[in-house]
Amino acid sequence: MQLPSNPFKRSLDGTPRYGCWAGFGTGYATEILATTGFDWLLIDGEHAPNTVPSVLAQLQAIAPYAIAPGACAPVVRTVNHDPALIKQLLDIGAQTLMIPMVDTAEQAEKLVAATRYPPHGFRGVGGGLTRATRWDSVEDYLAHAHEELCLVVQVESRTGVDNAEAIAATEGVDAIFVGPVDLSTGVGHAGNPNHPDVQAMIRHTLEVTHAAGKAAGILAPAEADAKRYAQWGFDFIAVGIDISLLRQAAVETIARYKPDTPRPTSSLGY
């Protein structure tokens, strides 16, 4: 059996790819999202109640749609930089990982090493125990696994922006994803990622990432933001969050029948 191709990595061809956060933590909800036309889905292990088994269930739920026309590709976000967790996620078949809060090239280098087998890293060998090897059916998996991996690191602090050029230049880093909410909060503009100072930092990160020949992504659930970032040249943009979409639809639905019902607003602007 050949090493499975990574549909997300293959999709990064200069055309904006639009994705959605999958935060419910269930394969059923994520499979619904996979049928709606999004190019990619972020299985969120940082802020959503996901565990390794629930991530596995969602990878399995997306799998049939990742190889169909108009494929929907999975991306898995870790909760931290823990190499043991990275190993587990790779072993269950995640091929694209997004790692939050990367501030330096040294951190990026350690994350790359966690995804590589010796002598290029220190990923442990699971062999026939792992879904990634199709239970030891993939030929020469140890030698070729890295070819279909995609490592996305998140820049979401002033330090990360200052070091974005070096982070993007790190061999083995495939893309940088800007976290505008954390970034704006960390630089003193909480809830206002559209502040001119924050926008300048975002654009700087995009430019140095592209200069390094890497892809750049961002979270932008507000339509005007997403369109602006697409015009700037961002390669992959998260334009929805499943929990927010459900909440908004529910609020709008009940308001049609109970117009006096309070309509709470988001402090984040979406």
For 212-227, b/e burial (b = at least 16 CB within 10 A) is: bebbbbbbbbeeebbe
Name the active-site residue from 47, 81, 189, 195. 47
Taking the C-alpha atoms of 54, 55, 59 and 60 in order, what is their torsion angle to the nearest 10 degrees?
Answer: -20
Pairing of strands 175-178, 215-219: parallel
Q: Would you call 146 a catalytic residue per the annotation?
A: no
Q: Which helix (H) or strand (E) holds 150?
A: strand 150-155
User: Cis link prior to 16 (omega < 30° from 0)?
Assistant: no
Closest listed residue to residue 21, CA positions, set 38, 43, 39: 43
**DSSP-assigned letter for residue 122:** -
**DSSP-assigned letter for residue 39:** S
Helices (H) and strands (E) in the chain, counts: 12, 8
How far is it, in rounded angstroms, from Cα 235 to Cα 258? 41
- Looking at the annotation, which residues are catalytic? 47
